[in-house]
Every structure is written in structure tokens, then in C-alpha cells.
Amino acid sequence: MSRIDVVHDCDPGNDDAVAILAAIGHPGIALRAVTTTYGHLAGDRTARNAAIAVAAAGADVPVHAGASAPLVRERLIARLLDFDSGLDAPRPQLAAVPLAVGDSVSALRAAVEAHPGLTIVATGPLTNLARLLTDHPETAAGIGRIVTLGAAWGLGTKTPSAEWNVVSDPDAAAIVYAAPVPVTIVPVDASATVPIDADLVAAVAGRPGPGAALAAELLASLEGLHTPPVVGPPGCPLHDPCAILVAADASLATVAPAQVEVDLRPGLTYGRTVFNFRPDAHNPANVDVVVTLDPARTRAALVDALAGLS
């Protein structure tokens, strides 16, 4: 299988960490770097968590810390409290890899220059990517595609209107969606159809090595904490690993072109992503949207990728 060059921009978090492990183990991906941003956790914690995931995989992949706050708005979670992470438990047998020199934007720029046609998979707020495209617009020509987990055409996840990754930095999302780069959005409406359940956890746990063991632990933690929504699929959604898996194998998804914009007006709809699946000459498509995923094949692809860690 030929491999694509990938940088994973993320905010670990349990499902981001599983996505890192899947990217390292996937036979179709050459993971060139991991870059981090704030998310439900502060930026120093997401960088540490990414470094733990890379260490668990035994991989030689640099981890670069990045944005600690959005472009314009205040960091959402900082006004409340930082969530716990499944990676918080002491693991004396597993030392996090040292963080690489240079911030995330510098690392992204260097990776694009070194690997023309690079795929950037983003599974957190899009602050790092927006800064890259704004501060270094020439890099757009070298990016093969951005695949981002986030947005929703239906109900929001953080607010009634807005999905977490987008509403964390709506201005950044608007910049990325409008950039002269091919963009694929994996919205949470699609990733929510791929469930984490006991069967998936058992399948991952049955694979050898500390990387698969950590992934099984994190998946079990997510599944155990899940509360079924009032509207939507009842199972615990896989979310972030779906973006990695789709980047490596587009056949897992059905994709449609769409015009997608972010509502930046203050109020109840702030951060909402508006999807127009009937683009035309006056309202052209600016992204490709994953409208369905094959749940069985996506879950199998995750297990296979994690098996590649051994």
C-alpha cells in the first residue's frame, strides 16, 4: 500500500490520542509530525498527552506544542475548568517523548515544504491551521488536503447550534474553510454513526503491544463515560479517529461537495456551521463533506491500524 504524508494537528484528549496511535500504525500513512493545540484541556496538557501516545507507540515522531488560545474569542473551557483526561493516570513505565523544538505553526510550515502534497488531519480547534494559512499563505499551494473532524449540519455539541471544535475558534474555522486548499470535513453527524462499544474495545485489546493496550483503555474510558443524547445515535461516537481513517482511505465515506460557512455573529448561533448541499455559481462549494461513513469498515480499519503498532 502506498503511503500519504500526514501531520496530525490535535488536542488530546482520549479520542485524539487513539487517532494518533491509529495514524502511527496505519500502513497507508507516513506520520511526519504531531502538532497540538488547546481543547477541552489546556495546551500544555494536550502536548503532554500527545507525547505519551507517541511514546506508547514506540514511534520516532516529533510532537510540537502550539496554540494555547483562540484567535479572537476567549478560550471556552478556561472560564469553567479543565476536564480530566484518560491519559492523566501515572504510567511510570511509559515516559512521554520530549517535545520537539519549534511551535506547531513552524512545524506545519516545515512539513509542507519538506513533503509537497502533505495531508493535514485536524481533530481539534483550527487555530494552528488558520495561523499557518494567514501568516504563511504561500504554504497553501503545498498542502494536498486538509481533513478536519468538526462542524455539524444538525444539532451542536457544545451549544444548541455549534460543534465543539468549531465554536472553540469560529474565526479560525472560517479561515480554513475559505482557504485555497482542498478541505474535507468529517462532521460529527457522520462520525457519531461509528460507535465505540464493548466489541470494539475487546477487538483492540486483543492486539499486542503497549500502543494497542493504551488505545483499548482510552476507548473503554470514552464508552464508560458516554451519556446517550436525546437526539441522534445512542452509541458512544468514535469521532476523531474517523478523520485519520478517512484521510488514508476515502472509500470508507460517501462525500458531497458543499458550501460551508461559519456564523460569526454574537448570539445563540455563534459558531454554527451552515451547510449548503446545493452549491451553484453564485454560492460555490468550498469543501467536501463526509455525509456517511461505513461503520463496520471504519471500525475494522481502526482495529487493523492499531494492530500495526505491534
The pLDDT profile of the chain, 310 residues, written as one tens digit per residue, is: 689 999 999 999 889 999 999 999 999 999 999 999 999 888 988 999 999 999 999 999 999 999 999 999 877 764 434 455 556 666 655 566 788 889 999 999 999 999 999 999 999 999 999 999 999 999 999 999 999 999 999 988 888 899 999 999 999 999 999 999 999 999 999 999 999 999 999 999 999 999 999 999 999 988 877 777 777 787 889 999 999 999 999 999 999 999 999 999 999 999 999 999 999 999 999 999 999 999 999 999 999 999 999 7
Q: What is the pTM of this model?
A: 0.94
Catalytic hit among 8, 64, 115, 239: 239
**64 has catalytic annotation:** no
- Distance CA(200)–CA(22), nearest Å, equals 14
Residue 96 confidence (pLDDT): 64
Burial string for 166-179 (b: 16+ CB within 10 Å, else e) reads: bbbbbbbbbbbbeb
Which grid cell is 306?
Answer: 492499531
Q: Which helix (H) or strand (E) holds 295?
A: helix 295-307
We report the CATH number of the domain holding residue 197 as 3.90.245.10
Which residue is listed with cell 459558531?
271
Half-sphere exposure of 3 (CA within 13 A, CB side): 14
H-run or E-run covering 29: strand 29-36
Structural domain that includes position 45: 4-307
3-state secondary structure of 198: helix
Among 176, 184, 216, 180, CA closest to 199: 216
Going from the C-alpha of 79 to that of each of 11, 73, 150, 184, the distances in angstroms are 18, 12, 22, 31
Give residue 157's pLDDT: 84
Provide the phi-psi class of 153: left if phi over 0, else alpha when psi is between -120 and 50, else beta: alpha
Q: What SS3 state is found at 129?
A: helix
**10 Å Cβ neighbour count for 280?**
9
The total of structural domains in the chain comes to 1
Edge-first strand order for the sheet with 29-36 is 63-64, 29-36, 4-10, 118-122, 143-149, 183-186, 287-293, 253-262, 273-276
The single-letter DSSP state of residue 46 is H
Contacts of 163 (CB under 8 A, 6+ apart): 150, 151, 152, 156, 157, 187, 188, 271, 273
pLDDT at 78: 41
Q: Report the distance separating Cα 291 and Cα 304, nearest Å.
A: 23
Question: Which of these, 128, 169, 131, 130, lies nearest to 150 by C-alpha position?
Answer: 169
> Rounded to an integer, what distance in angstroms lies between the CA atom of residue 13 and that of residue 50?
9
